[in-house]
Amino acid sequence: MSPNVVLMTLVIALEPIPILGGVLLLTAKRGRPKAVAFMVGWALALAIVGLIVVVVGQEVSTPSGSTSSTVSAVLDIVLGVALIVVALRTRVKKHPDGVAPTPGWMQRIDTMSPIAAFALGMFLPPYLIAAAIGNEIIREHTSTTARVVAMILYVVVGSIGILVPIMVTVVRPETAEARLASWRTWLQANWQTLMVWLLIGIGVYLGVKGVVELQH
């Protein structure tokens, strides 16, 4: 994978919402099956985006200076602006006391069934960033096999944030409860701030990258 794809994939992996979702599910009753279902839904959603990229990429070529290359650069700019808008909207939702309001899905997560957790995993992925990753892979002029490998790595790395808490319950079950409780407390207090800065950072990055590409 190119450095651009690696960077954006790491942003997906570090997004606090899926990590918090997995931790919340693991601390609920019969949490591990729910967390696994959540991770499967998340990974499947990312994989669907990857499949679309591979299929579309077979028909799309973006040599430097071509119309498709210009469209690709403009798409980066549009996605970057959209991510910044989402970040600012997320920031505005903070209460005057600086505490982030609890999303409705977080309030219901303790009583979720595995099927509902799977559906939540399908719903939560950052599709704007996934689209930016797809846009980057398409313009790399690689073979279909290389695109498939890149998308598999993107799905795996992008799911690590959910996988790690699950593995903690498997590898260190005797300390998992205390560790997950600590992570849950920290994430609930800081997820919004972390989310805002991640989105702003990747949004600015995509916007600048698109502008630079338009100049060439």
pLDDT digits (tens, 9 = 90+) for 16-34: 988 999 999 998 888 899 9
Q: Which of 82-86, 108-112, 152-156 has the lowest mean pLDDT?
A: 108-112
pLDDT digits (tens, 9 = 90+) for 38-61: 999 999 999 888 778 767 755 655
Domain limits, the chain = 3-214
pLDDT digits (tens, 9 = 90+) for 94-145: 555 555 566 677 777 778 899 999 999 999 888 888 888 888 887 776 777 8
Query: CA-to-CA distance for 150 and 54, rounded, in angstroms?
Result: 10
pLDDT at 122: 93
Read off the pTM.
Answer: 0.83
Closest CA to 155 of 43, 57, 53: 43
Q: How confident is the model at residue 92 (pLDDT cuts 50, 70, 90)?
A: low
pLDDT digits (tens, 9 = 90+) for 66-80: 555 787 788 889 999
pLDDT at 1: 67
